[in-house]
Chain A
Amino acid sequence: MKFGKFIKSILTSIVLITILGSSSLYAKEGNARKGKYLFRKYCRECHTDGATGDRAGKALSPIDKTQAEWDKIFKSYKSLACADQWDKRKAKDIKDIYAHLWGHAFDSPSPAKCE
């Protein structure tokens, strides 16, 4: 069971690393529309104003980072405090979330704040 999870997380990382080689392609692959919903569901619980608990993080919206910064985060998410949360997500979900964040980043053609 534990081993399976471990393998899955490694696979996720491999998938991410492979695809992030060409980030805009990756953005096109992910479903940005769904990503917005998934981001809110999985990330915003902690990444929001007034979040409480030991996991409370900084409020985050796509506009808070440039596309390059989002690339970096997705490439090296393992070093994030919430890496375990990332590992729980399906690779497709992460793709979708990435597509949303990258597609509406600070320097994107359509920067967006997540309400």
Chain B
Amino acid sequence: MRKDNKKEISRRRFLKVSASAAATASVAGNTQILYALTTKGSAKSTGVQSNIEKKFSLCDMCFNKCGLIARVEDGIVKKLDPNPKVLKSRGMLCARGNAGIQRVYDPDRLKYPLLRKGARGEGKWQRLSWDQALDLAAEKLEKIGGEYTRCGTLFMAGSDMQSKFVHRFAEAYGSYNIISHESNCLVSRNRAFLDTYGEMPIPDVLNSKYIIMPGSNRFEALVTPDSIDLMSAIRKECKLVVIDPRYTKTAAMAHEWYAIKPGTDMAFLLALMHVMIDEKIYNTDFVKNKTNGFAELTQHVKKYSPRWAEKECQIPAAAIARMARELAAAAPAAMVYPGRRTSDYTDSTQIRRANAIVNALLGNWDQPGGFVVAQKIHLGNIPFEPDFYEDNPDDRVDVNRSPMMFDTEGAYKHARDAVIEGNPYPIKAFFTYKTNPMQTGANRQKTIEMINRLDFMLSIDIMMSDTAWMADLVLPAASYLERMDPYATQQGVSTGPCLVTRDPVIKPMFESKSALWIVRELARRLDLGMHFDFTMKQFKEAQIKKHPEAVKAIKKDGVYHQKSKVYGRYDGKPFKTLSKKVELFSKRYADAELDPMPVYKRPKKIPSGRFQLVVGRSAAITQGSTTNNKLLRELVSENELWLHPDSAEKLGIRNGDRVLVSSVVGKQKIRARLTREIRKDTVYMDTGFGVLSKGLTSVFGSGACIAELLEDRFDYISGNMAMHETLVSVRKI
């Protein structure tokens, strides 16, 4: 009887949805969407069945923020499905997105404020009330501000829609020592493209006919829409060439794969330029009208022939020359993919400058299948006018260590060194929100050393991450499905920009609170309440005031797409560079006594018996933030050391053996995975394992921590961490 009743309702719903199915049919190639997008609460069923609601939200299992629809039954989230109306995420949710349920209902979630009782990292905690915790935090911040100036507190917030409120708090409090996660990730790429084009473009993978991916792994390090578009593109007529010391899943799907010698990408890129210029197959119009420094570049790349490059990077000269010709023939719908995480080498910015310059020769700027200009949808703000503290030092703590560090991102590596050295001034407090440098910042021992110099460390997080584990005060944050977030712009590339947001899907569990609530409460206690005199709802109203149509669209579809021109936005417009053109030759670099054009430097030789350790991604892991997730642990329960069988044989290591991996900064034990999917001189392991936090009960005890092994070199231009400069030895235990 009950069953029949359910069927009846289902059929009615089905009829309703069929009508609207056509509207969503063309989202992502062959996506077939059968069901409707019900607005909040409207899918409630009647009668004795459970109360089912479908609510829009955005995933938070990595930085992508893919659109999702949460199925909520009697107030419990039962399933997360993709929201096909969010064109940026192309109607998909990956394994992590699907496992988001486990993040919300993980028994290891932080439930209430905790105060450290034992030694740092010992794991003895005392439960505090929110009032006690906030009073204590405010008292510490006040005291440290008085003794060491307001800049004596370092703030670090991860990629999150509420991080802006942590930044606002930092500024209201009076510190300009705010760093992001990005200097452990991608600032060198942004640096290079900004210095070449005046802004960071987004690649139009979907419409490209020829893509070379040096070091990017889009089918595992998922980026929406690029990853999905890449498959759509290569299934049409796009050729994909992967350049990577590892045989990644992207390499597996590629038309060609070259196991390049690590650290020599620039040689390959310079040789591409050499061939294009030598054979005059570059885009002459674009180069003549839109670039600056072509004559210098022509001279510069003369010596970088494919024959020369072959010796450096071990890609056959003929293949390099052919790729240059094929790229040029497919241009402007062709690209050397810019990549994302570029925290690899000490000349990482210059490597990406080389990447940017090859693309300039293709003239793919602002063209279908080339680079698209990112578009902002202008949002309002609630401005604030905090006081300046006259006793503050002149500048950030991490300045003058890299000539072109982004002021808005800072550099984790430099800030950490500065704290350890107490130079140029002491930092005595560390405030983190949803970021985990203990796992993502190379050289974990140095992070511990930094933390040991502090008088006070506060971490706001969902779980007891390794970073929270080191803190004095840990505050439980509401997860993405439990809170209201501001509006944000997303780039759908060929589908244009869109606005997205989050409304709570369920009520916050336990005593968890949103970041805005936490910093507002702290601000009040520090007499800074006037800078947070608004609710999230009011903030959102201020943001969206000029876009009433967006409010309606978001209510209906969970997203608002702005109709706007995607290509040809630069027609007749100057580039945002000093020369107003694409800078093949960078005067800014020349003035700063940096190489104005990328100069190849041979990486140090890998001595026999040692291996170059490289960092990479799995589609089931977002560093330390997902490895404790029980659903995802069924896919990857521990990391393994990828080791070529020939290299392993010399060391007497068999598949599955436990091995000791040693670098100059640390040692880790891990199981070996013998595979031909890696060069003989290179080893790899996933990030996010070997945790110290016993608060992560599922992952604790499994795998090894790559951050413990990685040396903390840095890109000398941007200050980005350089994580591929580490040599390790491996021996059987």
State if A and B touch, Cβ cutoff 8 Å. yes
User: B386 contacts A40, CB within 8 Å?
Assistant: yes
The answer to the question of A95 belonging to the interface, with a C-beta cut-off of 8 Å to chain B, is no
A49-B381, A50-B545, A107-B578 known; A37 vs B388 contact (CB < 8 Å): yes
User: A112 contacts B542, CB within 8 Å?
Assistant: no
The answer to the question of A55 belonging to the interface, with a C-beta cut-off of 8 Å to chain B, is no
Partner of A48, one of B176, B198, B383, B546: B383
Partner of A110, one of B383, B406, B577: B406
Q: What mask results when residues 167 to 202 of chain B are scored 1 for a CB within 8 Å of chain A, else 0? A: 110000000100000000000000000110010000
Tally chain B residues at the interface, Cβ within 8 Å: 31
Contacting A at CB under 8 A, from B549-575, are: none
- Residues of B with C-beta under 8 A to A32: 395
Main secondary structure of the interface of B (DSSP, over half): loop
- Nearest CB to that of A43 among chain B residues? B385
Contacting A at CB under 8 A, from B359-409, are: 380-381, 383-388, 392, 394-396, 404-408
User: B387 contacts A33, CB within 8 Å?
Assistant: no
- Nearest CB to that of A66 among chain B residues? B576
The answer to the question of B307 belonging to the interface, with a C-beta cut-off of 8 Å to chain A, is no
**Please, how many angstroms separate the alpha-carbon atoms of A44 and B408 in the complex?**
19
Please count the residue pairs between chain A and chain B whose beta carbons lie under 8 angstroms apart in the complex. Answer: 55
A33-B395, A40-B383 known; A115 vs B407 contact (CB < 8 Å): no
User: B176 contacts A33, CB within 8 Å?
Assistant: yes
Contacting B at CB under 8 A, from A76-115, are: 103-104, 106-107, 109-112, 115
User: B394 contacts A115, CB within 8 Å?
Assistant: no
A33-B395, A40-B386 known; A115 vs B404 contact (CB < 8 Å): no
The answer to the question of B588 belonging to the interface, with a C-beta cut-off of 8 Å to chain A, is yes
Partner of B542, one of A34, A50, A106, A111: A50
- Nearest CB to that of A114 among chain B residues? B383
Closest CB in chain B relative to A37 CB, distance in Å: 4
The answer to the question of A41 belonging to the interface, with a C-beta cut-off of 8 Å to chain B, is yes
- Nearest CB to that of A63 among chain B residues? B576
User: B576 contacts A112, CB within 8 Å?
Assistant: no
Partner of A34, one of B195, B388, B404, B407: B388
Closest CB in chain B relative to A46 CB, distance in Å: 11
The answer to the question of B164 belonging to the interface, with a C-beta cut-off of 8 Å to chain A, is yes
Q: What mask results when residues 28 to 62 of chain A are scored 1 for a CB within 8 Å of chain B, else 0? A: 00011110111011001100111000000000000
- Nearest CB to that of B195 among chain A residues? A109
A31-B394, A107-B577 known; A50 vs B384 contact (CB < 8 Å): no
- Residues of A with C-beta under 8 A to B383: 40, 44, 48
- Nearest CB to that of B164 among chain A residues? A115
Closest CB in chain B relative to A27 CB, distance in Å: 13
- Residues of B with C-beta under 8 A to A33: 176, 388, 392, 394-396
User: A110 contacts B408, CB within 8 Å?
Assistant: yes
- Residues of A with C-beta under 8 A to B405: 110
- Nearest CB to that of B393 among chain A residues? A33
- Residues of B with C-beta under 8 A to A34: 388, 392
Q: What mask results when residues 8 to 39 of chain A are scored 1 for a CB within 8 Å of chain B, else 0? A: 00000000000000000000000111101110
- Residues of A with C-beta under 8 A to B198: 107
Closest CB in chain B relative to A29 CB, distance in Å: 11
User: A109 contacts B588, CB within 8 Å?
Assistant: yes
- Nearest CB to that of A103 among chain B residues? B407
- Nearest CB to that of A40 among chain B residues? B385
Partner of B385, one of A31, A44, A106, A109: A44
User: A38 contacts B388, CB within 8 Å?
Assistant: yes
- Nearest CB to that of A96 among chain B residues? B388
User: B392 contacts A49, CB within 8 Å?
Assistant: no
User: B385 contacts A115, CB within 8 Å?
Assistant: no
- Nearest CB to that of B199 among chain A residues? A111
23 A-B pairs with CB atoms under 8 Å apart are A33-B388, A33-B394, A34-B392, A37-B385, A40-B386, A45-B385, A48-B381, A49-B380, A49-B381, A49-B546, A50-B380, A50-B542, A104-B407, A107-B576, A109-B195, A109-B404, A110-B404, A110-B406, A110-B407, A111-B194, A112-B407, A115-B167, A115-B381
Q: Known A-B contacts: A49-B381, A103-B407. Give 18 more (CB < 8 A).
A: A31-B394, A33-B388, A33-B392, A33-B394, A36-B176, A37-B385, A37-B386, A37-B388, A40-B384, A40-B386, A107-B576, A107-B578, A109-B195, A110-B404, A110-B407, A110-B408, A111-B194, A115-B167
Q: List chain B positions with a Cβ less than 8 A from chain A.
A: 164, 167-168, 176, 194-195, 198, 380-381, 383-388, 392, 394-396, 404-408, 542, 545-546, 576-578, 588
Q: Which 10 A-B pairs have the closest CB atoms?
A: A37-B388, A110-B407, A41-B385, A40-B385, A49-B380, A109-B404, A48-B383, A34-B388, A110-B406, A33-B176
